[in-house]
Amino acid sequence: MSAPHSFHVKSFGCQMNVYDGQRMAELLEADGLTAAADADAADLVVLNTCHIREKAAEKVYSDIGRLKREDGSSPMIAVAGCVAQAEGAEIPRRARAVDIVVGPQAYHRLPALVAAAARGESAIDTDMPAESKFAALPGRRRVGPSAFLTVQEGCDKFCTYCVVPYTRGAEISRPFAAVLDEAKALADTGAREISLLGQNVNAWGDGDRGLHDLIEAIALIPSIARIRYTTSHPNDMAEGLIAAHRDVEKLMPFLHLPVQSGSDRVLKAMNRSHDAAAYLRLIERVRAARPDIAISGDFIVGFPGETEAEFAQTLALVEAVGHAQAFSFKYSPRPGTPAATMADQLPAAVMDERLQRLQALLNAQQHAFNRASVGRRTEVLIERTGKLPGQKLGKSPWLQSVHLQTEAAIGDIVAVDIVTAGPNSVGGAEVVKAAA
Ligand code: SAH
Ligand code: SF4
Ligand code: F3S
């Protein structure tokens, strides 16, 4: 196979994978390759995969099949991300078209792997090297008005259903100075909003510093107007971080704080190490600091042994919290995790039915949150153009999608009255400044 000149990166899964995909693209460009418009036009296709649920993990194999071209040829294919880490050398055995396998902690070595594959050598790297990949990555290029920045990676929590501790490795925090430098570099490329990412982002620390110190430091960068962070774990929600929601104006009033279940028995079996009451108390404290904060979460239905009464406790917790948005999933047994071999795996039909009921409730809460915001005067960060002439799409401080008519440019922040509410977005009217 000859050395590729162009590439295309396709990312699945969480925001950290999106970030990793951008970093791999920057790395390949620094190595002299050019970005192709799509997979069909690329000599090298990187599938940046997710292993969190069975469906996500299986998707990679159908995607590999689809990369085959009409003349029977296929591009150089690299499988990156969490499936690469979990399945390693098994991937090219199962899908012979795959040339490169690279795990999430080794992707700074991608150019060397591409060169090896071009020479016809084996190119599999699922090491979790002691050196940080971040130090080996090139500078940031323009990524749009809202930028992701990984500050913490890996997980030591070992929830019994979850593959992340195995695919991403142990918890590490990037140094304060390195993160701040990257935030400034992103600001220089035109970013207005920075979302700090980590599997347990609120566990970030460097010496005495906690996540709120990092947020305060980034808030001092003049052109950065908005700061967000995700995903947080209830047990790492420090007092200082809660206070930052009251004190740091640029920290947006939004908190994604997964709880997974409202049943203490299930939470214990999940190894979540907090109960439902502790979660509700935490939400109360956060709301005391920032009354208008939008709460988001993740839920799993049909964990092994979950009874109807235990599921009803999840519905009750959802009622008690009142979400602005949330993600909910059917439990998916993952190879190598303790829950996969627990007794009482539930039938798919039971999970389907519970998921429908939970999603109906969460959707109703999201719609209610959107309706309650009608009449608010707020600010919208313009992120892209809409489908209608003159229409732009952006985000409210509460992470609602807002559509509006405006002449404002991508990256501008405009004053808006929220005037309509749908289930998944709200409509805004730009506040016209009175003529002087
Ligand atoms: N570190 C984050 C996110 C982990 S993955 C956290 O702890 O919140 C994102 C979500 O996927 C999880 O919050 C959980 O709701 C869901 N998830 C993880 N493993 C799963 C599994 N085996 N089956 C179904 N959903 C799962
Ligand atoms: Fe997975 Fe739990 Fe870690 Fe989140 S905290 S990444 S759900 S093991
Ligand atoms: Fe998926 Fe890995 Fe993210 S399993 S959710 S891509 S950490």
SS (H, E, C) 215-283: HHHHHCCCCCCEEEEECCCHHHCCHHHHHHHHHCCCECCEEECCCECCCHHHHHHCCCCCCHHHHHHHH
Beta bridge partners of 193: 146, 226
What is residue 18's predicted lDDT score, i.e. its pLDDT? Answer: 96
Q: Which of 43, 85, 41 is nearest to 60 (CA)?
A: 85
Q: Is 159 annotated for ligand binding?
A: yes
- 277 exposure class (CB count in 10 Å sphere: 0-12, 13-18, 19+): exposed
Which residue's alpha carbon is nearest to atom 6 within ligand 3? Answer: 50
Residue 73 pLDDT: 87
Tokens 């795959």 — which residue? Answer: 98
* Preceding omega of 231 cis (within 30 degrees of 0): yes
Q: Which residues contact 96 (CB under 8 A, 6 or more apart)?
A: none
- 26 and 124 Cβ atoms separated by less than 8 Å: no
Name 414's bridge partners. Answer: 380
Distance 162 CA to ligand 1 centre (A): 6
| Contacting residues for 389 by C-beta, under 8 A, at least 6 apart | none
Q: What is the pLDDT of residues 176-194, one digit of tens each?
A: 999 999 999 999 999 999 9
Fold for domain 134-372? Answer: pyruvate-formate lyase- activating enzyme (3.80.30)
Tell me which amino acid residue 1 is.
Answer: M
Query: 164 CA distance to ligand 1 centroid (A)?
Result: 8
Query: d(Cα 325, Cα 202) in Å, to the nearest integer?
Result: 20
Pick the CATH number of 6-125 from 1.10.340.30, 3.40.50.12160, 3.40.50.2300, 3.40.605.10: 3.40.50.12160
pLDDT at 369: 98
Mutate to test the pocket of ligand 2, among 233, 235, 266, 274 (most ligand atoms within 8 A of CB): 233
Ligand 3 atom with least separation from CA of 82? 2
Determine which residue's CA is closest to atom 24 belonging to ligand 1. 331
What was the pLDDT predicted at 143? 84
Mutation probe of ligand 3 site: the residue of 20, 50, 166 with most atoms within 8 A of C-beta:
50
Mean per-residue pLDDT of the chain: 96
pLDDT given at position 84: 97
Paired with 48 in beta bridges are 11, 80
Q: Where are the alpha helices (DSSP H) in 149-210?
A: 164-167, 176-188
pLDDT at residue number 142 = 79
Residue type (1 letter), 290: R
Any atom of ligand 1 within 6 Å of the Cβ of 197: no
| Ligand 3 close to Cβ of residue 227 (< 6 A) | no
**In the predicted model, is pLDDT for residue 115 greater than 90?**
yes
pLDDT band of 72, cuts 50, 70, 90:
confident
Q: In sequence order, what E strands does 293-395 have? A: 294-301, 325-330, 377-385, 391-395
Ligand sitting nearest the alpha carbon of 171: 2
Pair 303, 339: CB distance under 8 Å = yes
Closest atom of ligand 3 relative to the 48 alpha carbon: 6
Q: How confident is the model over 69-95, as a mean pLDDT?
A: 94
CA 88-91-97 angle, to 5 degrees, is 135
Q: Ligand 1, atom 21: nearest CA belongs to which residue?
A: 332
* Strand, coil or helix: 369: helix
Contact (Cβ atoms closer than 8 angstroms) between residue 361 and residue 317: no
**For residues 250-258, average pLDDT:** 98
Domain boundary assignment for the chain? 6-125, 134-372, 374-430
pLDDT at position 276: 98
Lowest mean pLDDT among 70-74, 204-208, 350-354: 70-74
Q: Are 83 and 51 in contact (CB under 8 A)?
A: yes
CB of 351 shorter than 6 A to ligand 1 = no
Architecture of domain 374-430 in CATH?
Beta Barrel (2.40)
Measured in whole angstroms, the distance separating CA 66 from the mean position of its chain's CA atoms is 26
Residue indicated by tokens 């071209």:
69
Q: Which ligand has an atom closest to residue 52 CA? A: 3
Point out the ligand nearest to the CA of residue 156. Answer: 2
Using 50, 70 and 90 to split pLDDT, how confident is the model at 435? low
pLDDT over threshold 70, residue 108: yes
Measured CA distances, 380 to 361, 389, 417 (Å): 27, 19, 10
Is the pLDDT assigned to residue 436 strictly greater than 70?
no
Q: Does the structure show a pLDDT above 80 at 434?
A: no
- Ligand 1 centroid, distance to 331 Cα (angstroms): 9
Find tokens 């092994």 and name the residue.
304
pLDDT at 417: 98
Could you tell me the distance, in angstroms and rounded to a whole number, from the CA of residue 327 to the centre of ligand 1? 9
Q: Whose CA is closest to atom 5 on ligand 2?
A: 157
Structure tokens at 77: 């294919």
Q: How much is the pTM? A: 0.96
Would you say 234 is a known binding-site residue?
A: no
- pLDDT higher for 122 or 180? 180
